[in-house]
Amino acid sequence: MSVTSKDDISHILRFVTDCHGKFDLSKCVIRESALGGLGVFAKTDIAKGQSVLTLNKSSIFSASNSSIANLLYDNSIDGMLALNIAFIYETTVFKNTSHWYPFLRTIRIRDEQGNLNLPPSFWNKNGKELLKGTSFDTLFDALTPEEEIVEGFEIAINLARKWNEEFQLEIPNGFLDVKENNHGKDFNLKLERFISVAYTLSSRGFEIDAYHETALVPIADLFNHHVAHPDLKFVSLYDVCDKCGESGMCKHLIAEEYLEVQEQERDTSRAEKMETPTINEDLINSLENGLQEERSKSITDIEDEDSGIENADECVDLVLKNDVTQHQEIFNSYGELSNVFLLARYGFTVPGNTYDIVHLGPDFMNILKKEEKYQEKVKWWGQVGHGLFSAWYVQMRQEDEGEDKDSVPQSDGFSEDAGSELEEESEEEEGENDLNSWLSQLYIDYNGEPSPSTWALANLLTLTASQWKSLFSKKVTPHISDSIINEEKLPFLAKKDNPHSKKLLSKLLKDKKLPCIKRDNTPQVTGITDNMFHSAQILVQSEHDILTKCRKTLS
Ligand SMILES: C[S@@+](CC[C@H](N)C(=O)[O-])C[C@H]1O[C@@H](n2cnc3c(N)ncnc32)[C@H](O)[C@@H]1O
C-alpha cells in the first residue's frame, strides 16, 4: 500500500511545472480518493483521445538519469535494483541538491500509521496466516521470501562501502550503513527498509524505454488502478538507444552503422583482409561532430515550430481511451491482474476482481494421497494424460473458433499456466517439475467454473474400472505411460455434467479450508497492520465468493 499525502499535492504540481510538464488544472484535479491516498479526477467532461499529462523524459526519475547513474552503469547494475539504489541515494545523500528530490520525497515507504510497506512474503507469522491456503500461498508460493531481494540488498551494501572507500561518497544513512559488528539485528532492520523501498517503487514504476527501463513518473503515479474499465493509455516510445536514450540518430547508432558499412564493403570487395575497426572514443568523437551539426539544425527547426513541449518522442503521455465525465475518478490499468498479483507487486487488492481464481491443487493432492484406487490414474495423468488432454482441448477450441469466426475468442484455459504470472524466475526450471505444472491447472475461475483440467481429472478419477480400461486402445501395460490412448474417448474427459465428477468436486470444495479472517487482537499484539488485514480480507473473501458460485454450478 503506497499512498501519497494530500499535503504533497502542491510540491508535486510545482515540480511538474518547473519541468515544463503539461497537466491541465482546468480539466483535472488531484485529490483524496475513496480507494486510499490520492487519485486524479476530471474537473470537466474530457473527450477520449486527449492527453491528460505530458512530461519530457528528462523529468522522470530513473536509474539512468539519477545522480549515481555512472556508478551504477560501471558496476553493471540495472533494472529494479538500480532504481532502488538510485532512489535511496537521491533521498538520503543528495537530498536538496537533487533535481528530483521535491518529487521523490513525496513517495512514502511507510503507511499512515508509520509501518513499513512490506510484501506478504516479508509479513510476520500472524500476517502470513491470513493468506495460508489461498492461491497466493498454494499456487504462487508468494509467502516465501524471495532470495533475490536479499541478494540485491547485499550488493547495495557492498557498493555503498566501496564507493565510500574509493571517493568518500556518503553511505545512505539508515539504509545501507549496516554495522559490521552488529550484522544480525542491524542488517534485518535495514533489509526491511530496503524491501519497503523496492515494494513501494514497484507499485509506482512505469516501463519507459530501453534506456530508462522502469522509472518514476510524477503525477502519472497518482492514478489509481481499475480492474475492468481503465480510462488511460500510457504512451512512451520504447525503442531508443539503450546507451544514451536518443530517439533518433545518436553517436552510438552512427558508430554502429559505420561499422556495418565497413563490414559490407569488406565482404563485397573480398579484397585483402582489412583490419576490423572498433568503436572507440576517437571514432565516436569524430562522428559526433558531424551529428552535433545535424542536431543543432533540427533543434532550431523544432524551436521555430515551438509548441511549448519538445519532440513527442522524448515525452511520455497519458492519453484517455474513454470519454470521462465531470467529477469521475480517472483510472489507469496496472495490468489484467488477479488480487494475488496486485498484492504481491502493488500492495493492494480489489473486491470482486474478475481475474481471481481459486487453486485446487493441494485439495486434489489430499484425496489422491488418501485413496489407493487413484494411484494408477494419477500417475498416467501426470506423465501423459494432462499433456495429451491439453493439446487435444486447445486444438478442439481452435477448430470451434474456426467454424464460428464471429464468435468472441475465449481463453482455452490452457494458453497460460495459471501459476505463471508471478514466476518469472521459475520459468528457468520449466520441465523440472511436472507435478507443479499439472497441479497449477486445477482451479476454479472467477465465475465459479472449474477449469478444463479440473473437470478432466475429476472425470478421470470417477471412471469405473472398465471405463478406465476402455480409455486405451491397447491393454494397459505395466508401464502406464506406454499405453496407447483411444483418442475418441478424450471428449469424455471434457464433460461438465458427469454427476460422479460433480459429487467429487463438491466434496473437495466442502473440505477446502480458507483462512478465517477476524480481528482477535490489536495490531500492536499481532503485528497485523490495517493494510495487511484489509488486503487479506478482500483476497480471502474473493476466494469464498468463487467457491460459493462453484457450489451452485455443481448443484
Ligand atoms: C501508483 S499509486 C496510485 C496513487 C495512490 N493512491 C497515492 O496516493 O499515491 C499505487 C497505490 O495506490 C493504491 N491503489 C491504486 N489503485 C487502487 C485500487 N483500485 N484500490 C485500492 N488501492 C489502490 C495502492 O495503495 C497502490 O499501492
Confidence at residue 77, expressed as pLDDT on a 0 to 100 scale: 97
Of 430, 410, 437, 420, residue with least CA distance to 357 = 420
On whether residue 118 sits in a domain, the answer given is no
Nearest atom, ligand 1, residue 200 CA: 27
CA 140/CA 535 separation, integer angstroms? 17
- 362 within 8 A of 138, measured Cβ to Cβ: yes
Mutate to test the pocket of ligand 1, among 2, 217, 318 (most ligand atoms within 8 A of CB): 2
* Alpha carbon separation from 229 to 233, 351, 512, 538 (Å, rounded): 12, 14, 32, 20
* Alpha carbon separation from 154 to 74, 143, 461 (Å, rounded): 18, 21, 49
CA 338/CA 440 separation, integer angstroms? 15
Verify whether ligand 1 is closer than 6 Å to residue 218 (CB atom): no
Same domain, 401 and 493: yes
For residue 4, the CA-to-ligand 1 centroid distance in Å is 9
SS3 per residue for 463-498: CCHHHHHHCECCCCCCCHHHCCECHHHHHHHCCCCC
CA 226/CA 336 separation, integer angstroms? 9
Mutate to test the pocket of ligand 1, among 348, 356, 532, 539 (most ligand atoms within 8 A of CB): 348
Verify whether ligand 1 is closer than 6 Å to residue 38 (CB atom): yes
Question: 26 in helix, strand or coil?
Answer: coil
For residue 1, the CA-to-ligand 1 centroid distance in Å is 7
For residue 39, the CA-to-ligand 1 centroid distance in Å is 8
Nearest atom, ligand 1, residue 222 CA: 4
Verify whether ligand 1 is closer than 6 Å to residue 222 (CB atom): yes
Same domain, 403 and 501: yes
CA 23/CA 295 separation, integer angstroms? 28
Confidence at residue 438, expressed as pLDDT on a 0 to 100 scale: 92
Confidence at residue 307, expressed as pLDDT on a 0 to 100 scale: 44
On whether residue 448 sits in a domain, the answer given is yes
> Atom 21 (ligand 1): residue with closest C-alpha?
35
On whether residue 318 sits in a domain, the answer given is no
Cell numbers given for 50:
486527449
Verify whether ligand 1 is closer than 6 Å to residue 138 (CB atom): no
CB hemisphere CA count around 93 (13 angstroms): 20
Same domain, 301 and 389: no
Verify whether ligand 1 is closer than 6 Å to residue 348 (CB atom): yes
On whether residue 497 sits in a domain, the answer given is yes
Same domain, 367 and 291: no
Q: Can you give the length of the chain in residues?
A: 555
Interface confidence, given as ipTM, is 0.99
Verify whether ligand 1 is closer than 6 Å to residue 443 (CB atom): no
Alpha helix stretches (DSSP H) within 67-176? 69-74, 79-89, 101-104, 125-129, 135-138, 147-167
Of 311, 315, 312, residue with least CA distance to 302 = 311
CA 92/CA 169 separation, integer angstroms? 12
For the chain (length 555 residues), average pLDDT per consecutive 10?
90 97 96 96 98 96 97 97 98 96 97 94 95 95 95 97 97 94 84 97 96 97 97 95 88 85 81 59 61 48 46 93 98 97 97 97 91 88 89 86 56 51 48 71 97 96 90 68 75 93 96 86 82 96 97 93
Verify whether ligand 1 is closer than 6 Å to residue 8 (CB atom): no
On whether residue 51 sits in a domain, the answer given is no
Same domain, 504 and 405: yes
* Alpha carbon separation from 522 to 66, 132, 328, 518, 527 (Å, rounded): 41, 20, 36, 11, 8
For residue 343, the CA-to-ligand 1 centroid distance in Å is 11
Same domain, 375 and 452: yes
For residue 421, the CA-to-ligand 1 centroid distance in Å is 21
Non-local CB neighbours of 257 within 8 Å, separated by 6+ positions: none
Q: What type of residue is 105?
A: R
End-to-end CA distance of the chain: 39
* Alpha carbon separation from 290 to 147, 150, 295, 469 (Å, rounded): 48, 47, 9, 78
CB hemisphere CA count around 419 (13 angstroms): 27
On whether residue 286 sits in a domain, the answer given is yes
CA 409/CA 416 separation, integer angstroms? 15
Same domain, 289 and 366: no
- 85 within 8 A of 68, measured Cβ to Cβ: yes
Mutate to test the pocket of ligand 1, among 12, 346, 350, 537 (most ligand atoms within 8 A of CB): 346
Domain of residue 270 covers 251-305
Q: Is 274 left (phi over 0), alpha (psi -120 to 50) or beta?
A: beta
For residue 349, the CA-to-ligand 1 centroid distance in Å is 10
- 445 within 8 A of 439, measured Cβ to Cβ: no
Same domain, 393 and 466: yes
Same domain, 374 and 260: no
Verify whether ligand 1 is closer than 6 Å to residue 349 (CB atom): no
- 353 within 8 A of 135, measured Cβ to Cβ: no
DSSP state letters, 37-50: SEEEEESS-B-TT-
* Alpha carbon separation from 25 to 17, 33, 312 (Å, rounded): 11, 17, 21
| Residue 164 neighbours by CB distance under 10 Å | 14
> Atom 24 (ligand 1): residue with closest C-alpha?
1
Verify whether ligand 1 is closer than 6 Å to residue 331 (CB atom): no
Confidence at residue 301, expressed as pLDDT on a 0 to 100 scale: 42
CA 463/CA 498 separation, integer angstroms? 10
Confidence at residue 180, expressed as pLDDT on a 0 to 100 scale: 78
Confidence at residue 547, expressed as pLDDT on a 0 to 100 scale: 97
CB-based burial of residue 92 (10 Å sphere; 0-12 exposed, 13-18 middle, 19+ buried)? Answer: middle
On whether residue 256 sits in a domain, the answer given is yes
Same domain, 401 and 476: yes
On whether residue 336 sits in a domain, the answer given is no
Number of separate domains in the chain: 2
Same domain, 297 and 365: no
Of 188, 155, 193, residue with least CA distance to 173 = 193
Domain boundary among 281, 305, 329: 305
Same domain, 298 and 367: no
Of 178, 182, 151, 181, residue with least CA distance to 164 = 178
